[in-house]
Structure 1
Amino acid sequence: MTTLSDVVDLLHGWYPPATADSWDAVGLVAGDPADPVAKVMFAVDPTYDVAREAADWGADLLVVHHPLFLKPVHGVAATTPKGRTLATLSRAGCALLSAHTNADQAVGGVSEAMATALGLSDQAPILPAPAEPRDKLTTFVPLADAEAVRSALGAAGAGRIGDYDQASFSASGQGRFRPLAGANPAIGAVGEPEVVEEERIEVVLPRSRRTAVVRALLAAHPYEEPAWDLTELADAGLATTGTGRIGTVPEQTLRSFAESVARALPQTAHGVRVAGDPERVVRRVALCGGAGDFLLDTVRRSDADVYVTSDLRHHPASEFLEQDGPALVDVAHWAAEWTWLPVVEARLRAALGDTVETRVSVAVTDPWTFRP
């Protein structure tokens, strides 16, 4: 039996809530983690109509991109739109989970799904996510005590690199010192120069574990005054996660590219708007799922020929074009983010197999309904 907790753990593993923006509200909104889950539906918006669709289908969990409660509320009475949505889901025994900005930046997330739908190759984040700050600790230990010190450092949180732990580097050498009056040396005698065969041990560690690792070193090291140094490591900017995506498409005109965007995305009344010379050559494409005008300055400094995003405002777009930036393609917010739903659905089905039935809502929740 698959439980709600099982599904939440998978989703949170792919789209960690800790990576969401500080203002965001993501994660499990309603539901008992111990409840069984046999049907999961995916949608962009937790609207009343989407909740009705989930309830009518018999979904046990509705996974949405946009949070139901992004701003604080003082009640969820069914007389309000959000309360009506929650009441509909609750009566049907359907849990609700939101993956918003934590899904935007992730591998297999919203911007990557949109980039794949538009045919971008060689994808990379426009703004790579900053790596967790890391340090490197170096110390020198008598050969007989090296393994004990390595084990203590690992137990304190050092030596974890990706899917590996207990990672370290060692090299042999000689340590030299002379204990002075008042010293209580573990090796040698006061006033006598000493030469000891030692191992140089180097480990990396999360900066958040710095104090714990240094304390573990001092506790495990046999010397009264061990030699050690700590180096703060620079972020190389190689993260595969991050904001937006930039990549390459076969060379074509802006008109041809815009037409391919219109074909790739679900149809909406908003449609696709383009700013730029229709005959401009397009090869490098930058994009951001959802509202992306906050990236305009970054995109202008890139090698992109065109920027695809949603909710572009008049003045920022005009000023961007006046600075000879890339062309702009403005698409419906809902349509851009809908491209993620089949991706996360397939990911869940691959992880859980036939134990869970899935469905992607095709209800168009874009607020614009027609053009006169």
Structure 2
Amino acid sequence: MTGPEISAPVTLAEIIAVLDAAYPPALAESWDSVGLVCGDPGETVSSVLIGVDPTAGVVDEAIGAGAQLLIAHHPLLLRGVDTVGAHTPKGALVHKLIRAQCALFTAHTNADSADPGVSDALAGALGLTALRPIAPKPQAPVDKWAVLVPTASADAVRQAMFAAGAGQIETYDQCSWSVPGTGQFRPLDGANPALGQVGELETVAEERIELLAPRGLREQVLAALRAAHPYEVPAFDALEVAELASALGLGRVGELPAPMTLAEFTAHVGRALPATEWGVRAAGDPDRVIRTVAVCGGSGDSYLGAVTRLGVDAYVTADLRHHPADEHLRAGGPALVDVAHWASEQPWCAQARDILRAAFGDRITVAVAQTRTDPWTVAHH
């Protein structure tokens, strides 16, 4: 008779691997700082807290809950510092976390551009469907290879290129296409032909093999092709494929289940997001009918032109300023709905929580921080 199965402990490194898969660091903007801020990847983690901001209150909440990992959206050390001494505000938090054996990890603009990411969580809170990015990132650059090879050697060349990393399309590998044909060539003086004789025209039954490969593997794929091909001088094409838009990128555009006026939609946004002193305010005709909506978690006024070109009815984001908003409306852009920065990104915490729960089940506990980190505390209307 066997006893109950004991779950293996989860290391910080395992959690980071899951987070990096969901929010790839390569998606982060060049100016950003993401990843592990403090903590030992080899240590075990049984409790995680997720929040938007690594403020003193959230750090205290994590430590009070016994968490060994705090995941934040906003970086603690975004701009360069020359000290994390405990006499500085940020250094004091780093020291407090280390003393409590609580790691700090950040997923910022990589979580903004991921699929799903921060704006997907905001769009989901508002009930939007048929989502696509406002500013899509291009798909990973690839080359298309077309290789002419004698039929008898076609599979060997194909397998060698597969081994070098070619032939994978999303969740499929060993992808290729081929067609038979007839090749011809005449070896000249100095040639050392695998087939035929110098000075004589040769015809050979060949296959044209086509497959895709990441552009970053170009040298490896070429080396594999040359090593496996029987000809002294293989014939091939290597073409750069156009970089098409992907599902990754900042912001999202979606559709409401049913149209509503701007006044009704503004109230809907207020009910959907956590309450703040900032509240929810809209700019535009209150009776304007809203069907398609663009959203961008965090500060999104840099996309005012983009959402105008997309022709949406309303744009939901944070930190909108007087003059850009006024000029946007004068130019005939969509209605604007301005929410608190923290409120626009807070739905992401539940998304990250669910990713970790799906990966680790009951091996760890994962909670969303209850501390409100919106800095505005007083409002008067």
* TM band (smaller chain): over 0.9
1:304-337 deviation per Cα after TM superposition (whole angstroms, max 9, x unaligned): 0000000111111111111010000010000010
* Secondary structure at the counterpart of residue 138 of structure 2: coil
- Residue identity over aligned pairs, in percent, reads 54
Task: Determine if the alignment matches structure 1 residue 311 to structure 2 residue 319.
Answer: yes
Q: C-alpha separation between the residues in 2 aligned to 1:231 and 1:35? A: 46
Once the two structures are superposed, the pairs formed by residues 187-336 of structure 1 within 5 Å of their partners are 187-237=195-245, 239-249=246-256, 250-336=258-344
Once the two structures are overlaid, the 10-residue window that deviates more, 90-99 or 188-197, is 188-197
Count of aligned positions? 371
Q: C-alpha separation between the residues in 2 aligned to 1:86 and 1:181? A: 72
Report the Cα offset of residue 72 of structure 1.
Answer: 0.9
2:101 corresponds to which residue?
93
2:375 corresponds to which residue?
367
2:366 corresponds to which residue?
358
Report the Cα offset of residue 77 of structure 1.
Answer: 1.7
Report the Cα offset of residue 246 of structure 1.
Answer: 0.3
Task: Determine if the alignment matches structure 1 residue 103 to structure 2 residue 103.
Answer: no
* Letter aligned with residue 273 of structure 1: R
1:125-156 deviation per Cα after TM superposition (whole angstroms, max 9, x unaligned): 11111111111010111112111111221222
Residue 41 (structure 1) aligned to one of 49, 54, 62: 49
* Secondary structure at the counterpart of residue 164 of structure 1: coil
1:16 corresponds to which residue?
24
* Secondary structure at the counterpart of residue 151 of structure 1: helix
Q: C-alpha separation between the residues in 1 aligned to 2:335 and 2:66? A: 45
Once the two structures are superposed, the pairs formed by residues 6-155 of structure 1 within 5 Å of their partners are 6-155=14-163
Q: C-alpha separation between the residues in 2 aligned to 1:78 and 1:273? A: 40
1:80-124 deviation per Cα after TM superposition (whole angstroms, max 9, x unaligned): 211121122111110000000000111121000000000101111
Once the two structures are overlaid, the 10-residue window that deviates more, 277-286 or 193-202, is 193-202
Report the Cα offset of residue 217 of structure 1.
Answer: 1.4
Task: Determine if the alignment matches structure 1 residue 345 to structure 2 residue 358.
Answer: no
Contact 1:4 1:37 survives alignment (8 Å): yes
* Letter aligned with residue 164 of structure 1: Y
Contact 1:38 1:357 survives alignment (8 Å): yes
Gaps of 5+ in 2: 1-8
RMSD after superposition = 1.0
Q: C-alpha separation between the residues in 1 aligned to 2:92 and 2:367? A: 22
* Secondary structure at the counterpart of residue 44 of structure 2: coil
Q: Give the ranges of 4+ consecutive aligned residues of structure 1 lying more than 4 Å apart after TM superposition.
A: none
* Secondary structure at the counterpart of residue 70 of structure 2: strand
Q: C-alpha separation between the residues in 2 aligned to 1:62 and 1:227? A: 55
* Secondary structure at the counterpart of residue 353 of structure 2: helix
Gaps of 5+ in 1: none
TM-score by length of 1: 0.98
Once the two structures are overlaid, the 10-residue window that deviates more, 179-188 or 329-338, is 179-188
Report the Cα offset of residue 182 of structure 1.
Answer: 2.2
Q: C-alpha separation between the residues in 2 aligned to 1:47 and 1:21? A: 23
* Letter aligned with residue 241 of structure 1: L
* Letter aligned with residue 12 of structure 1: D
Q: C-alpha separation between the residues in 2 aligned to 1:206 and 1:137? A: 11
TM-score by length of 2: 0.95
Contact 1:48 1:84 survives alignment (8 Å): no
